[in-house]
Chains A and B, each alone.
Chain A
Amino acid sequence: MNAKARKSPPGPLDYLRAWPIRAWLAFTAFYLYAPLITLMAFSFNDSKRNIVWRGFTLKYYQATFADTDLITAFGNSLTIAAVSTIVSVILGAMTALLLWRFRFGGKAALEGALGLPIVVPEICMGVAMLVFFTEVVPWPTELMWPFNLGAIIISHISFSFSFVAIVIRGRLASFNRELEEAARDLGANEWRVFWDVIAPHMRPGLIAGALLAFTLSLDDFVITFFTSGPDTITFPVKVYSMVRFSVTPEVNAASTILIVLTVALTAIALKMQGADVARAETGEGL
């Protein structure tokens, strides 16, 4: 029966084998990928004019690594992402535990407020942070590195930790409460239960949340654009200033590095905790 079915003409619902659907799929894939693939390919092209293939070269990568501004910006981005990830994971884990575990007055309101960083338009959050860090808590710009990055780090934590909370809460949903009861019966107190039973279960969620926070921070342009100063340029802000006026192979090379980095990190995150990361990225509720 099975072998026969395989030979039979496509079933009525086998839309993937219908040519209009196939053609459309191919067109969409071309639309989505052609710009990115050509961008990456031309970062290896030995020509300034960027459009005709003149042979393979790594000189734009050498130029990228020799560009001290770009390297500084990249270092800033990594530092910001690292610090913001650590704090976001801690706050996100707390938020997830709070909402998963406890009943309290005003919980619905708090859930709504925690969802705000995900839904508020980036530009609004950007200007809010700009005003906050110039008028209310003027962040001293002459501070020693990396403390001069504080304003950017704080803004990044504010928009990341709700995403992290979604991922970790998704992981907690699969926790078997009987384990906790068993631990309690065996004499563990509240903290002991947390460290020995709940925390190990959370771990994949923590790692996935961390990777998500890291990529969110590394990728962010709009909010950083409003909180960065002349001495606190991040990689996307630097690339933006290069991109504004021209298309150059150096930018292609720098972009290729960032594409490879974020795609690799996200792939790892998805592998750890696929569905929850996907849910957080498409902004589905807390």
Chain B
Amino acid sequence: MTQSWSKAWGMFAVVFGPPVVWLAAFFLVPLAIIWAYSFGENTSLTQIGVTGTLANYAHAVRPLYLGIIWKSFWFAGLTTILCLVAGFPVAIAITFAREKTRVWLLLLIMLPFWTNLLIRTYALMAVLRDEGYINFALAFLWHSAGHVTAAFGHPLGAFRPLELLHNNFAVIFGLVYVQLPFMVLPLYAALDRLDRSLLEASLDLGHGHLGTFARVVIPLAIPGIVSGVLITFIPTIGAYLTPDLLGGPSSQMIANVIENQFKNANDWPFGAALSFLLMYMTFIAMAVQGVLSRDRRERQA
């Protein structure tokens, strides 16, 4: 269907030139500079010399930073698992809903996803903080219970708010909150293609709903699970805003360390090396996805 560029070279030049030049000048060049910097060092206060050193990468695998990289993996992995567990029933509900309900349910999942990430994170701060809604409700219950126990001569004492914000729990809570729609949509896409007669057959032949789910639905939904897992995992590992606003000093992820190197610590070469490590991780995850989906297509062919 496509035509060779030489057949309409005028048109080709017009549509080829600007996007390619823009992409090269304002995207690939900046990334290339960061890449070069990752092999450089601060030669003076404002100068960075690209010396081909690997010291920045060596620096990045020291225990402190390795720990943060590991923590980022751990956060992203846990978030992905929680999203998968929470998202699967939702995807099933959407798949087996009637046409009209389905549109509404999809909208229900997508709508929060269109609101600004910063605002969604801020909304969670209002929920989780010491004076937030959860602690407010708990304080109310505590005081009510206090009246009852006081009647029996055992006052409960002052309410001490649960520390829900600025810790690892808040970060995971926030990451799941932000990423859940990313998981539900690919799961739904996979379940929607599933042949329902297989499910009915399994139910007829004696499996219960859980048995059918484990032995029929999950194996058939593997492609959707894989793409949902990666689509959730990839942005989560590079998350900046959620750990920054909801996390405490010990819940920093790679992106926060990168930001710190560029904005405060002023060690750009090291920040550049960390950025590229993060990019390589992203690319590896995408390559995995590519290989898995190619395998699947070949098996189907």
Contact = CB atoms under 8 A, between A and B. Distances in A.
Interface string A31-59: 11111101100100000011100000000
Given A39-B126, A110-B20, A135-B33, A123 B238 contact: yes
A262 interface: yes
Nearest to A28: B90
Interface string A91-134: 11011011011111000001001101101111111111111100
B278 interface: yes
B26 interface: yes
Interface residues of B, number: 95
B12 A131 contact: no
Interface residues of A, number: 92
A100 B12 CA distance: 11
A122 B119 contact: no
B138 interface: no
A interface: dominant SS: helix
B26 to A, nearest CB: 5
Contact of B22 (A121, A126, A157): A157
B114 A215 contact: yes
B117 interface: yes
A272 to B, nearest CB: 15
Given A25-B93, A120-B282, A90 B18 contact: yes
Contacts of B93: 15-16, 21-22, 24-25
Contacts of A244: 245
Interface string B186-219: 1000000000100110010000010000000000
Contacts of A177: 1
Question: Dominant SS at the B interface?
Answer: helix
Given A114-B23, A130-B262, A121 B31 contact: no
A91 B19 contact: yes
Residue with the highest number of chain A CB atoms closer than 10 Å, among B5, B34, B119: B119
12 contacts: A32-B112, A101-B15, A114-B19, A123-B275, A124-B31, A124-B276, A125-B30, A125-B31, A177-B1, A239-B118, A243-B122, A247-B126
Interface of B: 1-5, 8, 10-12, 14-16, 18-20, 22-23, 26-31, 33-34, 37, 48, 86, 89-90, 92-93, 95-98, 101, 105, 108-127, 129, 131-133, 136, 177, 180, 182, 185-186, 196, 199-200, 203, 209, 231, 234-235, 237-238, 240-241, 245, 254-255, 258-259, 262, 268, 271-272, 275-276, 278-279, 282, 286
Interface of A: 12-16, 18, 20-22, 24-25, 28-29, 31-36, 38-39, 42, 49-51, 90-92, 94-95, 97-98, 100-104, 110, 113-114, 116-117, 119-132, 135-136, 154-155, 157-158, 161, 165, 177, 190-191, 194, 215, 218-219, 221-222, 226, 236, 239-240, 243-244, 247, 251-252, 255, 258-259, 262-263, 266, 278, 281-283
